[in-house]
Structures are given as C-alpha cells and as structure tokens.
Amino acid sequence: LIQLSIPLNYLGMVYREVKQALTNIQRMYALLDEPQEVRDAPDAPALRVDGATLRFEHVDFHYDAARPILRDVDFTIPAGKTLAVVGTTGAGKSTLARLLYRFYDVTGGRITIDGQDIREVTQDSLRAAIGIVPQDTVLFNDTIYYNIAYGRPDADREAVIAAARSAHIHDFIVSLPQGYDSMVGERGLKLSGGEKQRVAIARTLLKDPHLLVFDEATSALDTRTEKIIQAELADIARHRTTLVIAHRLSTIVEADEILVLEQGKVVERGTHARLLEAGGRYAALWAMQQREAGS
C-alpha cells in the first residue's frame, strides 16, 4: 500500500502541474480572446500616432451573421479626451474594445486612429499603441516583477519600480519577504482585487501607450480602494485618449462624452450633466444605481 501511494501522490502532483499549465494557456487565450483570424495586409505600414484621435465610423459588427451585435456605432474620441460607454449587460460594450485591439475586424464601417484604418497597419504597431486595463487582471505564475515588466519586457529595473510606485503598489511589494521576487498567481501569493488592478495599472504605466482602454471591473472593490483606484486611473487617463467600458456609472461622471449603448445601438450621448437633465435611459440607469448604492 505504501509503495503504491507514492507514485499516486506523484501522479497527483504531476496532474496538478499539468492542469495549472493548461489553465494558464486557457487564460492566455481568454486574454487574447480567440485564435488569430485577423491578418496584416501585405506590406502594411506601422501605425503613426499623432495625438491618437480615435474614430469609430458607422461600425457594424457581428460574431455570427444571424445576430448583429453593433449597429452603426459612430463616435470620435479627440486626442487626449475620455469617452465612456455604458449600457446593460450584453449591449456590446466590451466588443468595442475587442474591435479596437483587432481581435476581430468590423463587418461594416471602419475604425481609425489619426485617420489610419486599423486594418491597414500592422497589428504589432496597433497593439503597441494601446494599453488595456482589463476587468480581471491575469497574473502569471511568476514573480511580481515579471508580472509588471510584462507591460514592456525590455524595461529596466528602475522603470519597473517607478511604474510600481506610480501605481501605489511599491510599498506593498517591498513589505513582502521576497519583495519583487515574490511569486504570485495561483501557485504563489494571492493578491486582492485591488492589488491585482494596481499590477495592471503598473503594467500599463510601463507600457506608456497613446490610447487607453479601461474595462472596468464588474465586481466592486471596497469603496475606499475603489475611490483610490479611480483617482489613479483618472491620473493616467489625463492627456491620453481613453475609452472606458463602464459597468458602474460612478466612475464616468467626469468623462468628456458618455454613450449609452442598447442592443448594439447608441441610444443616447452627452455629458453626465446633460444626460441627467435629459431624463432618459442614462438618468434611469443612474437613479437605479443610486438606489442600489443607498440600500
């Protein structure tokens, strides 16, 4: 019995390792969303960024021809401004970010950055220009240093630490017994939601992109952490063209423009104050959230 239990234990360990590796690969795919269907045009030039004005021009999109997801979505984010998209679950908000990153190509209309159709430039140059702070940050089973440096693998140690400081996670990291060499991820230290978001912010700061996408977390952090993180996000969004996929309206009060998306169509647009005045869909969503927050 003893003899048998050793190999079984060993197999159990191997099984866990393999399962972990598979989970990581699955996550990578979840992060990259889908296998690559989108290709560079032959001789595609690199994107030239000059301020990063982002336009969605009459964009239509479906994953499956039988079911349109976006219909005639049209907006401009002038260089350095912030646009927030709100709407009910499944309205197509996150799809906007996937199209911008070119996981998929639009099925109608076009997306341009400083006048260049994103289908006509290299994907590498497009993706280098965009920083995404996702809903749920994937941490690799590696050191916290690696996890931050992932934003720009050629960054030197000073730049990594500077990014961690700006994301207000440096003090936490140096308080760990192994500091920047602490292992995180499923096999290491489990970070809280707020700490993970800060790692994502540090990664993005290190990448220093022209365009930012915040896919706001649906799961709320505690109010204090959330307020702090919002302030940090507002800070890195300043002077950068920013698209906020908003799941909670409190984060977008300051946006230059807000779009309300419903079943893939823009049904309202304006500033927070204007939309409240108008007393339409946005005002109703806002009132609902205020009630929920109060209860």
- Does residue number 87 form part of the binding site for ligand ATP (CB under 6 A)? yes
**Angstrom distance (rounded) from CA 200 to CA 7:** 40
Instruction: Tally Cβ neighbours within 10 Å of residue 279.
Output: 10
CB of 292 to ligand ATP, least distance (A): 15
Which of 68, 92, 185, 194 touches ligand ATP (CB under 6 A)?
Answer: 92
127: phi > 0 → left, psi -120 to 50 → alpha, else beta; which? alpha
Q: Which string of x and - marks every residue 157-176 that binds ligand ATP (by CB under 6 A)?
A: --------------------
Run of H or E including 181: none
Stretch touching ligand ATP by CB under 6 A, among 3-11, 93-101, 155-163, 224-232 = 93-101
Question: Which 41-80 positions form the footprint of ligand ATP (CB under 6 A)?
Answer: 63-64, 69
CB of 130 to ligand ATP, least distance (A): 17
Q: Which two tokens stand for residue 285?
A: 């969503």
Q: Which two tokens stand for residue 246?
A: 């908003």
Q: What is the DSSP letter of 292?
A: H
Stretch touching ligand ATP by CB under 6 A, among 87-95, 153-161, 171-179, 182-190 = 87-95
Q: How many residues of this chain bind ligand ATP (CB under 6 A)?
A: 12
First to last CA, the chain: 58
Residue 110 burial (10 A CB sphere; 0-12, 13-18, 19+)? middle
Q: Which string of x and - marks every residue 221-250 that binds ligand ATP (by CB under 6 A)?
A: --------------------------x---
Cross-strand partners of 270: 258
Which of 24, 27, 60, 94 touches ligand ATP (CB under 6 A)?
Answer: 94
HSE-CB at 38 with a 13 A cutoff on CA atoms is 22
Nearer to ligand ATP, 92 or 134 (CB): 92
Nearer to ligand ATP, 126 or 245 (CB): 245
Nearer to ligand ATP, 64 or 158 (CB): 64
Contact 255, 84 (CB under 8 A): yes
Residues lying near ligand ATP in the complex (CB under 6 A) are found at 63-64, 69, 87, 89-95, 247
